[in-house]
């Protein structure tokens, strides 16, 4: 998938992508903590988006394959519950494969607003969707959805808004961050709004760890590309060859923990500041929580939602949860 070009006019795009100054500030803040960390939201430059799309096709990575199958099998039920004439607001649209399924299955959707931090992926996805859904107004926003975003208003009034957050991306946030995001989502969709959330469910540790350590090494390339991007965009001097991808499942915290491990004693400079890495020191770059029904229901309740409906795949590997305001 080539994400370098797009036919979507820039005039159609609300462009709020993070500036180099914002990225540098986030990176310095993360490297100043103990343990060190980098924000996973910056994985998705054009190259990162391409690599993630490749990850979704790896045999070990069950999440995308299972969620697409779940959407296909339960879409008629979902459409009946959420109703017609929706303004669909997607958080982190990626390639748009799941979006295409959803929009095709809904009754007369009015508009679609993807909020995506990768400008290249956003424009590529919207260009493809516009070709198929001429009657749906495309209102893309290039922004960090973890911060407040004002939505563009469609020309045709929708009956309600539906937030769409598939891919178990919510699991990448800690509990407080997840509650904050779900509350912001609740405010965005309004009094009659709904949210359709994808969650990864508890399963065997070996299955989870394999998904984040594919034999082809695509996930490792994806993780290391974060350093390549930072070197290019904010002038840091990470020696990419001296860091190694590591992903382990913590049963205590019910999450996969992905880190970049320093292969030697070294120093990295970012925005004029020096940061020391010891040999073997792990820098956290991403977590992905796995939920039980009780875990997720409690999270939704804390954010002012209630679980209105639930759908799982036949093997209970992945779930879709429809949230309504409590």
Token pair of 271 as six digits: 């925005």
What is the pLDDT, as a whole number, of residue 78?
Answer: 98
Judge whether residue 7 has pLDDT over 60: no
Mean pLDDT of all residues in 35-64: 94
> CA-CA distances (angstroms) from residue 47 to 35, 43, 53, 120, 227?
27, 9, 10, 9, 12
> CA-CA distances (angstroms) from residue 102 to 56, 66, 166, 218?
18, 15, 11, 28
| Domain boundaries of the chain, sorted by first residue | 15-44+205-289, 62-203+291-325
Mean pLDDT of all residues in 43-51: 91
The pLDDT tens digits for 66-105 are 999 999 999 999 999 999 999 999 998 767 789 999 999 9
Distance between CA atoms of residues 201 and 67, nearest Å? 12
> Is residue 169 a contact partner of residue 94, using CB atoms and an 8 Å limit?
no
The pLDDT tens digits for 169-227 are 999 999 999 999 999 999 999 999 999 999 999 999 999 999 999 999 999 999 999 99
Token pair of 1 as six digits: 């998938």
Architecture per CATH, 62-203+291-325: 3-Layer(aba) Sandwich (3.40)
What is the pLDDT, as a whole number, of residue 2?
Answer: 42
The pLDDT tens digits for 229-271 are 999 999 999 999 999 999 999 999 999 999 999 999 999 999 9
């Amino acid at each position: 998938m080539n994400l370098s070009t797009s036919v979507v006019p820039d005039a159609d795009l609300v462009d709020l992508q993070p500036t180099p100054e914002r990225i540098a500030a986030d990176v310095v803040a993360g490297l100043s903590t103990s343990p060190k960390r980098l924000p996973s939201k910056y994985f998705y430059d054009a190259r990162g988006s391409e690599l993630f799309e490749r990850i979704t096709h790896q045999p070990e990575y069950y999440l995308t394959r299972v969620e697409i199958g779940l959407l296909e099998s339960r879409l008629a039920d979902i459409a009946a519950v959420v109703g017609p004439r929706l303004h669909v607001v997607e958080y982190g649209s990626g390639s748009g494969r799941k979006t295409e399924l959803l929009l095709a299955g809904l009754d007369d959707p009015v508009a679609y607003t993807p909020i995506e931090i990768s400008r290249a992926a956003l424009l590529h996805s919207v260009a493809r969707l516009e070709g198929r859904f001429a009657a749906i107004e495309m209102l893309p926003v290039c922004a960090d959805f973890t911060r407040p975003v004002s939505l563009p208003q469609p020309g045709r009034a929708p009956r309600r808004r539906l937030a769409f957050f598939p891919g178990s991306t919510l699991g990448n946030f800690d509990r407080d961050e997840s509650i904050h995001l779900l509350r912001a989502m609740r405010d965005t969709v309004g009094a009659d709004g709904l949210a359709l959330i994808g969650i990864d469910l508890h399963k065997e540790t070996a299955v989870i760890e394999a998904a984040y350590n594919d034999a082809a090494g695509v996930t490792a390339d994806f993780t290391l590309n974060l350093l390549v991007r930072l070197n290019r965009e904010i002038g840091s001097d990470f020696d990419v060859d001296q860091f190694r991808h590591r992903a382990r499942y913590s049963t205590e915290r019910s999450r996969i923990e992905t880190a970049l491990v320093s292969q030697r004693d070294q120093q990295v400079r970012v925005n004029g500041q020096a940061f020391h890495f010891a040999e073997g020191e792990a820098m956290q770059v991403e977590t992905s929580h796995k939920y039980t029904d009780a875990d997720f229901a409690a999270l939704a309740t804390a954010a002012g939602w209630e679980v209105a409906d639930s759908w799982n795949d036949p093997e209970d590997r992945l779930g879709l949860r429809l949230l309504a305001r409590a």
